[in-house]
Every structure is written in structure tokens, then in C-alpha cells.
Structure 1
Amino acid sequence: MKLFSKIALVSAMAISANAMALESMDDEALSAATGQDGITLTVVTSGITIDKLLIHDNDGLDSTVTTQGGASLGGTGTAGDYTTGAAGAIVVNDVTVGVNNTLAPAAFGGALARVTIDTDSGAGSAGTASNPFLNINMKNNALDIGIGDISVAASNDVSGMVGARRGAGAETVIISDLDITVGASELNIQLGAQPQGAMIVANGTIQGGVTINSLNLVDTATTGEIAIGDLKITSANNANLVVDTEISVLPGTHATGGGLAISSSGAKDIYIGSLALGNANSIGSIEIQGLDMGTNQLIVSGH
């Protein structure tokens, strides 16, 4: 019994000493970590795939807007020839997203993206600041994005959904063989006071610009195609694409300018390596230098 008591006493002393040592180490680690609070998410993946992405237009096309050969277009047909008002869908097939290992910055370590989330009190003294905001910084690696095709189809009825899958009927391909390479980039999102001046600000450099390696536009009436190869977009006289884009959400209705507002500035150079019309040989290369869209806004809204 005495031996057992001695063993218990020694064990208790050892546990106590270890606990004090652990507490000291934790304090030091916490002290060294000052200014490193927040959340960091690193996405490491061998690739992301999506079988189908569908966007359903639940009320179809209004017969008074435009029709095939209809009176609203100045044609001779009857308004509503091909207009049903029934739900149709944009269908994107076989989407793949992966890291372009040739262009990937070493700092990413092969990760697809890194998201850093912080909360700040905004201007003012601690505890009294009135402009708090959530800041989300997203750094994307150089990406390869592939899309098998983009089609249109009739949406299936909602009543026949299986779980979260609605689906669509027979598809008509309008764009095929879309292959895009995007260099590494950075995006910053602020929710709350938004001291950066907009909800989303993309202000940085896409290394190597954006390259659309292939894109085919299909004329389903004739089966002819417009084939675009090696379309590259960079800033004017620059090997990279300098991005200065702001995205905001405007209140109100479509008539009063409500919707998602996208504005971008800076002159761009565009080069199309090959352009073939109607399944024929390429007509050659096309180059646009210093394209500047000014300070115009693109507003996306429902109808």
C-alpha cells in the first residue's frame, strides 16, 4: 500500500510539472502569434469536376418580346411562332477546374486557392468604431478551365424532381470545346462598411493574362461553326492582365438600375491566333490594341 502511494505521488508530481511546462509553451506560442488571428482556408485538390450546370429560366420567353420571323422583329411570321413561355435552361456540360502546374506560383504550394478571412472594427478607437466589416481575401492559383459544351434545352417540370436534381430534355449545343487558362489572381470581398468602396474589388495582376485556347460557336440551323483559337487578353502593351474591377449590388428594379453592377477600367490588348468561319480554314489572326471601355457599367438583373 505504501509503495502504491509513493507511485501515485510521483505520478502526480510528474503530471503537474508537465502541465506547467505545457502552459508556459502555450503562452509563448500565443504571444508569438499576435496579429495572426483570423481564418485561413487553403483548398488543395487534384481538380474539381461538374457533370452538368443548369440555369433554368422558369417563365421562358415572353411572346411579345421577340419571335422567329415574328411581327415584333419586322418579319412576316406570326408572333409566337416558336415562343412557348415554358421554362428553358442553359446547360453547361463537363466542367473541369484544375491547377495549371506550368504557371502555378511556388508560394501556393500546389493549392487551388487560399482564402483569408478577417473582421475589422473600421475607423475609430477600439470599442467605439462604427464602421466594422468582414474582409475576405481570395488568392487563386493559375487555373485550367475546360467546358465540354454549352447547350440550351427545355427544363423538366419541378414536380418531377428527384432530390435536388431537376434536369432538362434534349440539348442543342451552341458553344463547344471551351478551354480557358487563367493566370494567378487576387480578389477582395468586403461585407459591412466596405471601406474599399465596393462589395467586391479585383485589383491586381493576372499573371500571363487570360487565354481562351479554343472556342467554337455553333449555328444549329446550318451546322456551321465559328472556331476561335488562342484568344489572349492582356493589359495594353503588357505581358500580364492588370485587373481593376469593382462589383456592387444596386437596389431597386430593373427600370431604376437595380441589379449586379460590374465596372472595369484600363486598356486591353486582344489577340486571336486563328479565326475560322463555317468549318473552313482560318482567315488569319486578328489583333486589337488598346481597347478601352471607359468607366461604363454592366448591370445584370432579372426580368
Structure 2
Amino acid sequence: MKGLKKLALASAITMTSVGAFAMEAIDDASMAATTGQDGITISVILPDFTPTAVTTTTPYAAGALLSGLQTAGMTNSAGGTITGYKGIAINEVRIHDDDGLGTLGVSATANSGALVIGGGGASDKTEVYTNQASPLVIAIDSVGDGDSVTAGNQAMLNVKITTPTLRIKTGAIYVANSNAAPANFDENGVASAGSAEVNGSGITDKTAAILSGMVMTLGVTTLNVQLGAAEAQGHMIVVNTSMTGGLSIDNMSINDNAGAISGGSIFVGQQKIVDAGGTDLTVVASVDVGSRSTNATLVAAGLQDIVNGMVVGIGQLGTAAGGVDIAMNNVRLGDSNMGDLGDVQILGLNLNGSELVIAGH
């Protein structure tokens, strides 16, 4: 019996030490090395969705994303309703310009207006959808030192967003009158001393579409965002994608709604952009937000004032050496009764290294 007591006591001491080890604190880095589960992953599963019927002039290859929409509306070849889509819809987007064009209080065109996307009814919504099972995935990681070289705080947040192949149908684009007003002026640009700024919240006179809705198909895309005291990738946002089958833009129409001669449009049934000599489209782009005070390195080039806004860099569009080939099919000038003038091809357009600076004025 005494031997059994000793054995039980030894077992209890052993289990106590094991329990203490099990409760031992473990830091984030050690857990990551042990489990591989460090960081945060968010999977966004879009809701079931029924896209608006779309008609395109150029059929998609058999088995391609959303094939069957080009002439059959929302029915498949057997006549049944196409199912299996996931996506979202946006009824209307408004971008208000508070002061219009010209000098406030002087120019007749210096009054607020708005650029409006969609809002013309159920078929005029902007839609983003897919028929793939893959969700939109957001991976978030925090990094204590983003470059391991520069002294001081170089902490960084990395957000990686991966999207499945998507189709985007935009609403038509309109211009409208806005109720926005800058301080000391009313919405019509008339001086009103002491009046407060009015943020745009309403529109009127949205009647003429300047650009019809378009349909775009985008391949699987990776977008990487880095925020903080360091950007290991060299840019705030980097987009890297290869679009299988290239980028397609269907049914683009620029409308002439005013003037002595009007009522027609510049219509392109389908634009297809692919790698030069290829069938897919490679896109490597970056996004940064510049400031005059932090662009001292650009003074020799005289670009300090220019690079003060959102800078979109085109690292590679198409192949590194050849750029892209662009095909514009079923080009029509005039109204819908006019025949097509044919197809237009632009081969070897190389925009690699270009930058777009987007800012207010």
C-alpha cells in the first residue's frame, strides 16, 4: 500500500508540472512559428445574385466566365434561368463638384454640378458578380520592422486582397445639377456673404446620359496594401494580375446630347485588351498618395507640384517589351440606324512606366 501511495504522489507531481507547462504564456511570434495561424484572414462570401440581362456583340468562348449572356439574356442554352451567381448591386453613385467651372461670382459656369453613375432604374444599377465558388479573401498581417535597415519605427500593416474572376456592369454616366455650395456662395455660384459651405446631398436635372453603361470582365486579381512607417513593396498599393482572356469592355457608347448637331454616339461593341501577341492580359500597377512637402527627391525633375495627389503607376500593362494589343469591334458613329464602320486594331501600345496623377482643382 505504501508503494502505491508513493506512485500516486509521483504521478500527481508529474501531472502538476505538465499542467503548469500547458498554461505557460506564448508570444505571437512563437505561436506563428508553431501553428502557422498568425495574422487575420477574412473571407467575404458574396450573397446569391441574379445579374441584369446583358447583350454583347461578340460571343465569349465556350466555358468562359459568364458565357451564354451574349445573346440569350439570362437564360442558358437549354432555356432555363442561369443560376450560381454571387454579387452585389449599387443603385447610384454621385460625385459632387462644389464650384463648377470658372470663377465663382463671375463665370456663368461656376456653379455646382454632379457626375452620377446609375440610378436610372433597375437595369441601370452598377453590378459586380461572379459565377466562381472562390470568396473574396482579405489577409491582414502586422510587421514590426518593414525594412530591417532604417533605424527607428518601421512598423507596417500588410493587407492582401484576392478576388475571384469578376464581371462588372456599370450604370450609365450622367451629369446633373447639385445642391452643393462653397462657403460664401450659393449653389448657383452667386455671392452670399457669411453663408456656410453646403455638402452635396441632392441632385436635379439628371436627364442625359453622356456615357452608356459598360460591361467588363476581370480575371483573378491580387491587391496588396501596405500602411505604416514602411512600405516593403515600395508602394502603398500594388496590383498584380493576369486576366485570362484579356480585359473585355462591352457596349461602350459616348453620347452627344447637345448642340446644333447631336443625338448620335461613338459606339464600340466590344473592346478587347490583351498582351501584345497574346491572349491574356498582364497588369502590374501601383498606387501612392504624394505630397509636395514630402517629394523633395523629385525637385530636379520639377515634379513636386505635379505629384501631389493619388499617383497610379503603370509598372507593366501587357508584355514588358511589347505592351498591349487593343481590338475595337463593331465601331459605329451616329445613331443605332447607322451601319458599323468596321473593326479597329491598335497593336503594340506600350504604356509601361507611365504615371497618372489624380487630384482636385
For the aligned pair, the TM-score class normalised by the smaller chain equals 0.7 to 0.9
Residue number in structure 2 paired with 1:275: 331
Hey, what does 2:128 align to over in structure 1?
Answer: 97
Following superposition, the deviation at residue 228 of structure 1 comes to 0.8
CA distance in 2, matches of 1:195, 1:263: 17
Letter in 2 for 1:166: S
| Letter in structure 1 aligned against 2:355 | Q
TM-score of the pair, normalised by structure 2: 0.63
| Residue 7 (structure 1) aligns with | none
CA RMSD of aligned residues (A): 2.9
Aligned equivalents of 1:55, 1:282: Cα separation in 2: 34
Does residue 1:169 correspond to 2:209, yes or no?
no
Partner of 2:218: 182
Per-residue deviation at 1:123?
A: 4.0
Superposition deviation, residue 147 in structure 1: 1.9
Displacement after TM superposition at 1:225 (Å): 1.0
- Normalised to the residue count of structure 1, the TM-score between the two structures is 0.74
**Which amino acid is the alignment partner of residue 299 of structure 1?**
V
Counterpart CA distance in 2 for 1:157 and 1:242 is 41
Q: Does 1:88 align with 2:113?
A: yes
Provide the C-alpha distance between the structure 2 equivalents of 1:95 and 1:124, rounded to a whole number of angstroms: 44
Between Structure 1 and Structure 2, the one with more strand by share is: 1
Aligned to 1:205: 242
In the aligned structure 2, how far is the partner of 1:191 from the partner of 1:288? 38
Q: Is the 8 A contact 1:186 1:205 kept in 2?
A: no
Selected match of 1:195 from 223, 232, 236: 232
Listed one character per residue, the Cα deviations across residues 136-186 of structure 1 (whole Å, up to 9, x for unaligned) are 1111111111123100001125799xxx98121111210113111111111
Q: Is the 8 A contact 1:123 1:130 kept in 2?
A: no
8 A contact 1:41–1:116 mirrored in 2: yes
CA deviations 1:182-225 (Å, max 9, x no partner) are: 11111111112001011111123222221101111100021101
Q: Which amino acid aligns with 1:295?
A: G
Map 1:74-153 → 2, pairs under 5 A: 80=107, 83-93=108-118, 94-99=125-130, 101=131, 104=132, 109-111=133-135, 113-121=136-144, 122-124=146-148, 130-153=153-176
Say if 1:256 and 1:124 are closer, same or farther in 2 by CA, change over 3 A.
closer
Mapped partners of 1:148, 1:244: distance in 2: 27
> Would the alpha carbon gap of residues 294 and 143 (structure 1) be closer, same or farther in structure 2, given more than 3 Å must change?
closer
Paired with 1:200 and 1:31, the residues of 2 have a C-alpha distance of 25
1:243 paired with 2:287, answer no
Answer whether contact 2:328 2:344 (CA < 8 A) is retained: yes
**Amino acid paired to 2:333:** L
Deviations 1:33-73 (A, max 9, x none): 62221111111113211111000001111159xxxxxxxxx
- 1:58 corresponding residue in structure 2: 98
Work out whether residues 95 and 146 of structure 1, in 8 Å CA contact, stay in contact via their aligned partners in 2. Answer: yes
Letter paired with 1:281: G
Sequence identity (%):
32
Whole-Å separation in 2 of the counterparts to 1:169 and 1:216 = 23
Give the whole-Å Cα distance in 1 for the aligned partners of 2:89 and 2:327: 29
Runs of 5+ in structure 1 lacking a partner? 1-19, 65-78
Residues 1:234 and 2:284 aligned together: no
In structure 2, what is the equivalent of residue 67 of structure 1?
Answer: none
| Alignment partners' CA distance in 1, 2:287 and 2:305 | 19
For 1:4, the equivalent position in structure 2 comes to none
Determine the C-alpha separation between the residues in 1 that align with 2:33 and 2:287. 37
Between the aligned partners of 2:244 and 2:225, the Cα distance in structure 1 is 20
Contact 1:181 1:213 in 2 (8 A): no
Could you tell me whether the CA contact under 8 Å between 1:250 and 1:257 is conserved in 2? yes
Q: How does 1:217-232 map to 2 (within 5 A)?
A: 217-221=254-258, 222-232=262-272
For 2:222 and 2:352, locate their aligned partners in 1 and report how far apart those are by CA, in whole Å. 22
Q: Is the aligned partner of 1:49 residue 2:105?
A: no
Distance 2:112 2:200 in 1: 15
**Secondary structure class of the residue paired with 1:233:** strand
* Structure 1 residues 103-153: Cα deviation after superposition (integer angstroms, max 9, x where no partner): x4xxxx342x2111111223449xx98422111111111111112310000
Question: Any gaps of 5 or more consecutive residues in structure 2?
Answer: 1-18, 49-86, 119-124, 188-198, 294-303, 318-322
